[in-house]
Structure 1
Amino acid sequence: MITIKKISKFIKSLYNECKQRGFYYFFMIYFSNFFAILRGMFYRLLYLKNIKASVFFLGQRSRFDVFNKKSKIIINKFAFIRKNATIRLDFDCELIIGEKVFINDNCNINCVKKISIGNYTKIGQNVCIYDHDHNYKAIGTDRLIKGEVVIGENVWIGSNVVILRNTKIGDNAVIAAGSIVKGDVPENSVFFNKRNNEILQF
């Protein structure tokens, strides 16, 4: 239930933010966010049978591509998807995006079985998440090897990370920028791929 105290607190926080940023920048941010909400509503209407969502934000040139009537998307409140993100779903898959999840620019999520992203998780730019591989040895049309991706709550995923099928990332984990992740990542841990820098003289 919304009380006068909550409304007063909300107005005060908006005033403080406006004072800190300056009116012009404050206005531009919320003007942009307003249209991001409208874009989210548009895709909810476009895929009415597929998307179950609360209020969420969808940035410019970001899109959902749903290719099957059985595909399901659940988006919890105040999830924020920035610019140029592509989210593709096919087959009888399920994609769950938790509350206040942040997905940065140019991210790519491909779901054919199940991907879940926990509450308050932050995903950096250019991150790719796949719950399947292509079986190049197979003959025929169905050449997908399907799995699942489970990302816990309050996870931090750096820029340019690739997350592959059958990956489980525990709560509060940090995935270093540029990592390729497959398998289990324990909670409260930092995951990174070791790299050796070499300089060849010529």
Structure 2
Amino acid sequence: MWLFVRGIVGLIKLLGELRIWLVENSFSNKSRRQRFFTKIVKKQVARFGSDLKVNEMCRLNKHVSLKNNVNLNGMEVQGNGKVVIGNNFHSGKDILLITQNHNWKNAKSIPYDDEYILTNIIIEDNVWIGSRVTIIGNTTIGEGSIIQAGSVVVNDIPPLSIVGGHPATVFSKRNKEHYDKCKKENLVM
């Protein structure tokens, strides 16, 4: 019986992955594909602003708020903590945001108990996040920051920072005068 149940669960997972593959690979027209994924995300999130563009499959939830001119290329939110993504956001592929953790500090069992600790992620305006970045909850990514591909963000990122690594650390800053000039003239992608 156990093998039968395990086989059914595996088959269901395989069919789910096949469905995603078929959806992702069945659109030859980029604009149709974008409209399809954007429509799905609009149903997933709590609220969204104008000019939302979704180019790849995303797994978001009702605790996510998207502001204006948000561009997603494949993002997954794990957990029920709040996620706010600011204006003029751009992401690479396969972004992972983790907004909950197990209680391990005062756990009733080892290594943790069944209590979840919800955490929030705030991404301010004009942020660009590279591909395969992981962001752990209780973090704010400051305005105008750039997160290098493959980074793991575990702490707050100051505004106008360029960060990378595991954990992500600041290795450069944007030119504030140039950034402010572009912002004032509304030169956004």
TM-score by structure 2 length? 0.62
Q: How far apart are the structure 2 equivalents of 1:179 and 1:153?
A: 19
What does residue 141 of structure 2 align with? 169
What is the CA deviation profile of residues 17-64 of structure 1, one whole-angstrom value per residue up to 9, with x for unaligned ones? xxxxxxxxxx934444454565467x3xxxxxxxxxxxxxxxxxxxx3
Q: Percent identity?
A: 26
Greater CA drift, 146-155 or 75-84: 75-84
**How far has the Cα of 1:111 moved from its partner?**
4.2
Q: Which among 105, 119, 130 is matched to residue 158 of structure 1?
A: 130
1:118 aligns with 2:119: no
What does residue 103 of structure 1 align with? 72
**How far has the Cα of 1:110 moved from its partner?**
2.6
Structure with the higher helix share, 1 or 2: 2
Q: How far apart are the structure 1 equivalents of 2:58 and 2:64?
A: 15
Which amino acid in the other structure matches residue 100 of structure 1? N
Contact 2:34 2:54 in 1 (8 A): no
1:73 aligns with 2:41: no
Within-5 A mapping of 1:1-202: 28-36=29-37, 39=40, 43=43, 64=44, 73-89=46-62, 94-105=63-74, 107-135=75-103, 138-139=107-108, 142-193=114-165
Gaps of 5+ in 1: 1-26, 44-63, 65-71, 196-202
Contact 1:95 1:111 in 2 (8 A): no
Q: How far apart are the structure 1 equivalents of 2:158 and 2:76?
A: 24
Gaps of 5+ in 2: 1-27, 168-189
Contact 1:161 1:177 in 2 (8 A): yes
Contact 2:124 2:141 in 1 (8 A): yes
Contact 2:46 2:61 in 1 (8 A): no
